[in-house]
């Protein structure tokens, strides 16, 4: 709860920053620095990513590939989609171009047999699993009366159940890794009613992913690092373009690289000392010395104070 309060304080001008802290633009007034202990890079590590054919998941895969990682892309898109960029094949091509080895697997994480087969194929190909990134997610920002049960079930099957099932299936292999991590792209558990009332079904589904972090980080303490990562601002993805606000919201967003770079910091840190955290992207980078975040702005004409804040923080 202390970390949740610290996140809330970011937007409370009546609370003075602790002595000695650096003051940043409004998007990160009082950064909560974390003492990351880095243990090398991801060369030769096997990273399996759900929802990895586009957006943040793909960006995390490309960043890992730059180290020479084996990146496994789990996704549903084989043929090009009219509104969504990227396919499994195009994602694998980007991984290879970045310097990694790729394996693309068509997989619907709602189904246990799909995940079991994908994990088995990964282990057969690369010999094990070091990192799981739960990126796949479904979104419908509808209120209770407007949310049909098909949408409700989809969000919970992909977000909460899919994350739980992916993690559960990979855990026996993660335990054999020298520095295993599970990273869920989910928000801090901020229990203010304002984050539930407009879209309770979506919030429940995303918070289910975060509850996996809360529980599994303690269940597997000293065995697997389990953390969440969430952006402080809107991120320029297909979901933002198609669901949340179109071109104007894209302009007021940061690019996917800020999530990829911050994920890399987490995934290259000691799993025993970095676990049970609900990280925010720019705080992660600030913790390792980054002070200029301008390169992450989609539109350089927008200042940090003009960026759109994300949900839940």
At residue 63, φ and ψ (nearest 5 deg) are: -65, -40
**Residues contacting residue 125 through CB under 8 Å, at least 6 positions apart:** 70, 72, 103
At residue 222, φ and ψ (nearest 5 deg) are: 70, 5
Query: Rounded CA gap, 189 and 258, in Å?
Result: 21
Query: Rounded CA gap, 127 and 133, in Å?
Result: 18
Largest CA distance in the chain: 56
Structure token pair of residue 245: 């606000």
Structure token pair of residue 11: 């937007």
What is the DSSP code (8-state) at residue 137? -
Which of 64, 104, 71, 103 minimizes the C-alpha distance to 87? 104
Catalytic positions are: 202
Reported residue count of the chain is 313
């Amino acid at each position: 709860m202390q970390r949740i309060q610290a996140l809330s304080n970011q937007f409370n001008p009546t609370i003075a920053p602790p002595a000695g802290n650096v003051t940043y633009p409004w998007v990160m007034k009082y950064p909560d620095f974390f003492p990351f202990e880095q243990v090398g890079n991801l060369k030769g590590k096997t990273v399996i990513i759900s929802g990895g054919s586009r957006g943040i998941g793909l960006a995390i895969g490309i960043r890992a590939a730059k180290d020479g990682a084996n990146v496994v892309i789990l996704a549903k898109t084989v043929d090009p989609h009219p509104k969504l960029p990227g396919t499994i094949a195009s994602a694998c091509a980007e991984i290879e171009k970045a310097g990694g080895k790729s394996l693309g697997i068509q997989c619907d994480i709602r189904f246990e047999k799909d995940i079991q087969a994908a994990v088995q194929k990964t282990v057969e190909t690369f010999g094990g699993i070091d990192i799981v990134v739960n990126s796949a997610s479904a979104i419908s920002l509808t209120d209770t009366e407007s949310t049909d049960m098909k949408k409700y079930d989809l969000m919970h099957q992909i977000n909460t159940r899919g994350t739980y099932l992916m993690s559960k299936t990979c855990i026996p292999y993660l335990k054999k890794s020298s520095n295993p991590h599970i990273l869920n792209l989910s928000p801090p558990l901020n229990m203010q009613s304002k984050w539930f009332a407009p879209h309770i079904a979506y919030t429940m589904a995303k918070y289910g992913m975060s509850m996996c972090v809360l529980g599994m980080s303690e269940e597997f303490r000293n065995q697997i690092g389990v953390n969440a990562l969430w952006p402080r601002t809107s991120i320029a993805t297909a979901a933002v373009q198609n669901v949340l606000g179109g071109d104007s919201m894209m302009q007021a967003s940061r690019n996917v690289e800020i999530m990829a770079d911050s994920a890399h910091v987490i995934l290259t840190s000691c799993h025993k000392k970095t676990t049970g955290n609900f990280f925010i992207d720019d705080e992660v980078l600030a913790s390792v010395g980054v002070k200029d975040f301008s390169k992450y702005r989609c539109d350089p004409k927008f200042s940090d104070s003009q960026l759109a804040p994300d949900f839940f923080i």
